[in-house]
Structure 1
Amino acid sequence: MMLPIDPAKKNSFQRRISDGDLIIVYERHDNMKAIKVCQGSELQNRFGIFKHSDWIGRSFGSKVLSNKGGFVYLLAPTPELWTLVLSHRTQILYIADISFVISYLEIVPGCLVLESGTGSGSLTTSLARAVAPSGHVYTFDFHEQRAASAREDFERIGLSSLITVDVRDIQGEGFPAEYCGVADSVFLDLPQPWLAIPSAVKMLKQDGVLCSFSPCIEQVQRSSETMRSDFTDIRTFEVLLRTYEVREERMKLSGGDKSGSLGSRPCKRRQPSSGEAIDGRETACSSIMARPCSESRGHTGYLTFARLKCF
């Protein structure tokens, strides 16, 4: 039942970039794109023109220059970066939820994980890396085109040997009987997860862990009620991530004020340039400032975990 892993298809970022590889072109932290390297092709952006032929043979992480002297970085398509650039066919899970899921589902190399639904594949790529090199992720989606697109994505980023994508309505049909009693973990991202919980019970190994992701608390309540007969240690979490920007800023000080702005450390004085005043008059300094990002993501969903009872 476990698919063999083809060593030639392992996702190794130690090798050089080749023609046909998928890479992440990094302009800045909020501007990245996935690009397939093609001999003879070009990338044009605000920094100039970048020839793909100049990228071939370079290491992942390289800084490359355009015809105008601008630059970008060529990064490997890690699960974290892929989550930021993938096509959103559905709502996706982000890093804060993903890391929490992998930790609480106790996923380690060699695990067999069942997932429904696949969606855009954001979580699936991180699950695959967690179970590598000898584990496997079997993911299901009822939407045929969505499943096909996800399968293509996993092939592009070199994870197809660790992931099997199938079309199946898990809410209506349950998981395939062939996985009965062999799953270490089950993850559900469904509109009515309580319909799939009885099937998940049959799939899990003794002491296996289930996680259900739901955006609404009413879904959590009904799912938890369904879990009570077969699961223990039922817990629900909401993961909220707050990101801070840290940057150096210039400030003007007047008179004897040497404290800088609120919440900053004391200013670093520099030599005054032409036109600046000294000796009690207005001077300039720089200080390291930290403040919350104005566009931090809020609520994404609730994560409900439960452990299969041992009878």
Structure 2
Amino acid sequence: MLLTDSTKKLSFNRKISDGDLVIVYEKHDTMKAVKVSEKSVLENRFGVFKHSDWIGKPFGCKVSSHKGGFVYLLAPTPELWTLVLSHRTQILYIADISFVVMYLELIPGCVVLESGTGSGSLTTSLARAIAPMGHVYTFDFHEQRAEAARADFEKTGLSSLVTVGVRDIQGEGFPKDLVGVADAVFLDLPQPWLAIPSAGEMLKPDGVLCSFSPCIEQVQRSSETLTSKFTDIRTFEVLLRTYEVREVKMDQCQSEEGTPGSHRPSKRKHRASEASHWQQDSSGSPVVMARPSSEARGHTGYLTFARLRCVE
């Protein structure tokens, strides 16, 4: 369970039990969510792992197969769940999620409205931020996606914190029984400007709205609509640059490449030389090197925030 079971608080000291959800970590880009069942086994390239051997071990432990391979059993935090969940739609990732949670000013006890639910990546982090007394009301117009999201929230222990509704928020607005109860509203819609008037009705005085849009034209039109009832309108683009850090061995030729008087290599040779720095060379001495990851993500979308104007 992620958050709600008080007898199983999220901790690396908690022991794994039959029926728990664990994240099986094979390497940094290969993880999967597995429900522990005493009679089940996990088979992968590292061997065969019996679930019965996992029961009683602490989260974060390393377990080995009969072949000598190993995996790590990690607690299913919202960050890890974002990396392993089924992508029913394009999802928000950690950089945008953390920014949203901070700028929506979420604390335990807050009430948040969200549309649309999608794969539930953001919803999971919203639920952790407002737990244990708050609540997230999330809506998706697609019945099958909503049902799949409910199943995921049940699996991760969030069902008491999240209510999933099926509703076309762009066309119908949020339900009237939620008027004035929300501390924050998040919109991930093709035409968010259609839902902004309803979102304003849902918010408490001084409440915050966030709209996620991939295109700047959507941002411009949403901002025009926001000016009627909102203030402090700001838009951000979060770009995350990840670096890889490794210990490698460099030969003397590579080590002297940048010495004074040496000729600057051509761009093509420089790239080839840079790539070779990752290769192990037993003739050199160990050096710790860092460089930008070749898999770094670029633009995901624009985050527009606005605060509901207080009426005097």
What's the TM-score once normalised by structure 1's chain length?
0.88
- Partner of 1:297 in structure 2? 297
Q: Distance in 1 between matches of 2:147 and 2:255?
A: 67
- Partner of 1:29 in structure 2? 28
In the TM superposition, 1:1-311 aligns within 5 A as: 7=5, 12-13=10-11, 14-253=13-252, 257=256, 283-311=283-311
The count of residues paired between Structure 1 and Structure 2 equals 289
Percent of aligned pairs sharing the same letter: 75
Q: Distance in 1 between matches of 2:145 and 2:60?
A: 31
Asked if the contact 2:16–2:54 (Cα under 8 Å) also holds between the matched residues in 1, the reply is yes
In the TM superposition, residue 185 of structure 1 has moved relative to its aligned partner by 0.2
The CA RMSD measured in Å over matched residues stands at 2.2
SS of equivalent to 1:186: strand
In the TM superposition, residue 255 of structure 1 has moved relative to its aligned partner by 11
Residues 1:137 and 1:259: Cα distance change in structure 2 (over 3 Å)? same
Unaligned runs of 5+ in 2: 260-269, 275-281
- Partner of 1:276 in structure 2? none
User: Which deviations, in whole Å up to 9, do the C-alpha atoms of 1:201-241 show, x marking residues without a partner?
Assistant: 10000000000000111110110000000000101000000
Q: Distance in 2 between matches of 1:219 and 1:284?
A: 54
Unaligned runs of 5+ in 1: 265-272, 274-282
Asked if the contact 1:11–1:159 (Cα under 8 Å) also holds between the matched residues in 2, the reply is no
In the TM superposition, residue 47 of structure 1 has moved relative to its aligned partner by 1.1
Q: Which amino acid aligns with 2:144?
A: Q
Residues 1:288 and 1:254: Cα distance change in structure 2 (over 3 Å)? same
Residues 1:7 and 1:292: Cα distance change in structure 2 (over 3 Å)? closer
Q: Which amino acid aligns with 1:84?
A: L
Q: Distance in 1 between matches of 2:298 and 2:231?
A: 29
User: Which deviations, in whole Å up to 9, do the C-alpha atoms of 1:105-159 show, x marking residues without a partner?
Assistant: 1011110000000000000000000001111111000101100000100111111
SS of equivalent to 1:298: coil
Q: Which amino acid aligns with 2:10?
A: S
In the TM superposition, residue 12 of structure 1 has moved relative to its aligned partner by 3.3
Q: Distance in 1 between matches of 2:295 and 2:23?
A: 23
Residues 1:140 and 1:256: Cα distance change in structure 2 (over 3 Å)? closer
**Going by fraction, where is helix more abundant, 1 or 2?**
2
Residues 1:7 and 1:250: Cα distance change in structure 2 (over 3 Å)? closer
